[in-house]
Amino acid sequence: QKVSLEVLDHLEHLALVDFRDSEGVERLQKAIQFADQLHEVNTDGVEPMDSVLEDRWCLYLREDDVTEGNCTKELLENAREKVEEYFVAPPGNIPLPKLEEREAFLQGS
Amino acid sequence: LAPWIPVVGLEIHAQISSNSKLFSGSQVQFAAPPNSLVSFFDASLPGTLPVLNRRCVEAAVMTGLALNCSINKKSLFDRKHYFYADLPAGYQITQQRVPIAVNGSLSYSLCIDNKMSQMVTKTVRIKQIQLEQDSGKSLHDDTRSQTLVDLNRAGVGLMEVVMEPDMCCGEEAAAAVRELQLILQTLGSSQAVMAEGQLRVDANVSVHHRGEPYGVRTEVKNINSIRFLAKAVDYEIQRQIEELENGGTILNETRAFDSKLGCTVPMRDKEGKQDYRFMPEPNLPPLILYDAKSLPANMNHQQVINIDWIHERLPDLPRVKREKLVEQYGILPEHSFTLLNEDGLAEFFESVVKQTQMKPKKVIGWILNDLLSYLKQHSLTVKESPVSSFLLADLLNLLEKKEISSTAAKRVLAELWKGEGKTPLEIVKEQKLELLQDQKELEQICQAVIDGQENEVIMMVLG
């Protein structure tokens, strides 16, 4: 079963991944086929497992104390742009080109 | 024309009142220097992991119990993915599959026809309460075409309370949220101050004709006060009705409330349906809660949350406090609502009652009519009142002992508001407001008046 252009476009919007060319799309389809093998197992009436550790994986509860923070300088060191200790980002979300607008979209996918 | 039935549901985000964040040890505080309350985890730096804050879980359990919910002894954490500059990880940790509390209810009261004396009780079902992370804050700088991001709020614990669409108008939505706010403040699980973003409400609104399926709903965001909530909901109901009656259709969209214009407008940046690609949070195992029966014998106390222990220690909820006030002091139900609606007023009232012989039923009039209206006029809180409960009780005692008249008492109160440190007795003496008790003195005064107005007296006697 081939992945339709609409689904491909939708996936690219969701994950900000660029499948780029037919080889990328082919790899995607193989990955889907691989994962589809899971459907061969009948899981009716079986509770999904969260971890192989089962009950032995206990959620650790932390006391409500302030132990971190106050490292503005360090955090901003990685920022390409900053304005008075704020991170700088583009205005809102930049929309990806619509399906119809894309040039030279994957031919024969 | 068949009548339209409006349907209103609410999604309320309450910031948990805690020292540190939901999954990290950075501080929770309003208004701090940008990015100063941010840990490496909050900034989503690689190699960091979430560690759950015990206090946040307790807050959610308390709230669930107060709202008559079933507490899920096993609840799960999930990732909700979307891209936005103030969400550095690209996902929010929430509880989508199995939240911490489900199937509760909230009772609230409304005045019919704006008359305080006629109140009805309504109930709204609580679908669920879930723990989740708050996002950072975006400041949009349109002139320089950029967004400034402050992550101080990123990772703060939230309780999302989902109310089923059992409400039908702005007034009901506002009353329900107000009651929830009072409950949260009583529990201490959230300070729930809307102005500081500790309580955020999104409304889901649709209309339909009786017997027909529910209409398409819109989501209304950017509501900053309870008053605006009522306006936004009522506006949206009207807008939808007008649109449909003109032959139009309602889009399943997100709209923002514009408080200046008093209307809702479509929101940019929310094109198309979002696919959040929910997946289990792989770094957190299930959250297990215990009760008296299931309490494990050999576990460290610090790692165990006992629902029954929390239940036993819940304070009196507003509804119960009101009932007790009515029963103990013989005041009217609507009085109890006003007392609880104003921070500190109920305590002030009880304090005055303790210090005076005047019956509570009479004291309440002085509290609600005189004290409260003065405070409102001058935008003061009860705590800021220049007249203390001691002074007011002192004044009411003079009145009760008939040493002054009711009119005189009001004049003394007006003087007390100046906060010049005088006692009621001092003011009474200064302004000579004492009631005369001496019969002879009264006769003398009356005679003097009659003597001084001979002509008028003759006219009266002649009829």
Do the domain assignments include residue A48? no
pLDDT band at A94 (very low <50, low <70, confident <90, very high): low
> For residue A75, which of B315, B142, B120, B88 has the smallest C-alpha distance?
B88
In DSSP terms, B265 is beta-bridged to B256
Cα(B250)–Cα(B247) distance, integer angstroms:
10
- Chain B from 137 to 176: CB within 8 A of any A CB: 138-142, 145-151
User: For position A107, what pLDDT does the model report?
Assistant: 47
Cα(B218)–Cα(B10) distance, integer angstroms:
11
Do the domain assignments include residue B436? no
Q: Are residues B339 and B281 in the same domain?
A: no
**3-state class (DSSP) for residue A90:** coil
Do the domain assignments include residue B419? yes
Counting Cα atoms < 13 Å in the Cβ hemisphere of B296 gives 12
The count of other CB atoms within 10 Å of the CB of residue B389 is 21
Domain that holds residue A18: 1-41
Cα(B413)–Cα(B274) distance, integer angstroms:
60
The count of other CB atoms within 10 Å of the CB of residue B320 is 12
User: For position B323, what pLDDT does the model report?
Assistant: 95
Domain that holds residue B391: 318-431
Cα(A85)–Cα(A12) distance, integer angstroms:
32
Report chain B residues whose CB lies below 8 A from the CB of A64: 18-20, 53-56
> For residue B231, which of B273, B201, B268 has the smallest C-alpha distance?
B201
Q: Are residues B284 and B322 in the same domain?
A: no
- How many domains would you assign to chain B? 2
Do the domain assignments include residue B458? no
Q: Which two tokens stand for residue B73?
A: 């002894």
Do the domain assignments include residue A95? no
Q: Would an 8 Å CB–CB cutoff place A45 in contact with chain B?
A: no
Do the domain assignments include residue B301? no
Q: Are residues B182 and B247 in the same domain?
A: yes
Q: Are residues B209 and B355 in the same domain?
A: no
Q: Are residues B328 and B389 in the same domain?
A: yes
- pLDDT tens string A35-91: 999 999 999 999 888 788 877 888 999 999 999 999 999 999 989 999 999 999 988
Q: Do A86 and B149 touch (CB under 8 A)?
A: yes
Q: Do A51 and B285 touch (CB under 8 A)?
A: yes
Cα(B194)–Cα(B226) distance, integer angstroms:
8
- How many domains would you assign to chain A? 1
User: Is B214 in contact with B208 (CB distance < 8 Å)?
Assistant: yes
Report chain B residues whose CB lies below 8 A from the CB of A62: 20, 25, 51-54
Do the domain assignments include residue B356? yes
Do the domain assignments include residue A2? yes
The Cα-based distances of B202 to B85, B155, B162, B241, B256 in angstroms read 21, 20, 10, 20, 10
Q: Are residues B186 and B42 in the same domain?
A: yes
pLDDT band at A102 (very low <50, low <70, confident <90, very high): low
Do the domain assignments include residue A6? yes
**3-state class (DSSP) for residue A21:** coil
Q: Do B84 and A93 touch (CB under 8 A)?
A: yes
Per-residue pLDDT of chain B (463 residues; tens, 9 = 90+): 789 999 999 999 999 999 999 999 999 999 999 999 999 999 999 999 999 999 999 999 999 999 999 999 999 999 999 988 999 999 999 999 999 999 999 999 988 766 666 789 999 999 999 999 999 999 988 888 999 999 999 999 999 999 999 999 999 999 999 999 999 999 999 999 999 999 999 999 999 999 999 999 999 998 989 999 999 999 999 999 999 999 999 998 899 999 899 999 988 655 556 789 999 999 999 999 999 999 988 888 899 999 999 999 999 999 999 999 999 999 999 999 999 999 999 999 999 999 999 999 999 999 999 999 999 999 999 999 999 999 999 999 988 888 888 888 888 888 888 888 888 888 888 887 887 777 777 788 888 888 888 778 788 887 7
The values of phi and psi at residue B325, to 5°, are -65, -45
User: For position A1, what pLDDT does the model report?
Assistant: 67
Q: CA Rg, chain B, in Å?
A: 29
Do the domain assignments include residue A3? yes
Q: Are residues B29 and B149 in the same domain?
A: yes
- Minimal C-alpha gap between A108 and chain B (Å): 27
Cα(A7)–Cα(A13) distance, integer angstroms:
10
Do the domain assignments include residue A96? no
Domain boundary residue, one of B246, B267, B288 = B288
The count of other CB atoms within 10 Å of the CB of residue B18 is 21
For A90, the closest of B43, B146, B285 (CB atoms) is B146
The Cα-based distances of B326 to B320, B322, B369, B425 in angstroms read 10, 6, 18, 32
Do the domain assignments include residue B451? no
DSSP state of A89: E
3-state helix/strand/coil string of chain B: CCCEEEEEEEEEEEECCCCECCCCCEECCCCCCCCCCCCCCCCCCCCCCCCEEHHHHHHHHHHHHHCCCEECCEECCEEEECCCCCCCCCEEEECCCCCCEEEEEEEEEEEHHHCCCCEEEEEEEEEEEEEEECCCEEEEECCCCEEEEEHHHCCCEEEEEEEEEEECCHHHHHHHHHHHHHHHHHHCCCCCCHHHCCEEEEEEEEEEECCCCCCCCEEEEEECCHHHHHHHHHHHHHHHHHHHHCCCCCCCCEEEEECCCCEEEECCCCCCCCCCCCEECCCCCCEECECCCCCCCCCCHHHCCEHHHHHHCCCCCHHHHHHHHHHHHCCCHHHHHHHHHCCCHHHHHHHHHHHCCCCHHHHHHHHHHHHHHHHHHCCCCHHHCCCCHHHHHHHHHHHHCCCCCHHHHHHHHHHHCCCCCCCHHHHHHHCCCCCCCCHHHHHHHHHHHHHHCHHHHHHHHHC
Q: Are residues B266 and B354 in the same domain?
A: no
Q: Are residues B81 and B172 in the same domain?
A: yes
What letters, b where the CB count within 10 A reaches 16 and e where it falls short, cover B137-174?
bbeeeeeeebbbbbbbbbbbbbbbbbbbbbbbebbbbb
Q: Do B38 and A60 touch (CB under 8 A)?
A: no
Do the domain assignments include residue A58? no
Q: Are residues B338 and B264 in the same domain?
A: no
Cα(B140)–Cα(B160) distance, integer angstroms:
26
User: Could you tell me the pTM of the whole model?
Assistant: 0.88
Do the domain assignments include residue B463? no
User: For position B272, what pLDDT does the model report?
Assistant: 58
In DSSP terms, B101 is beta-bridged to B71, B129
Q: Are residues B241 and B339 in the same domain?
A: no
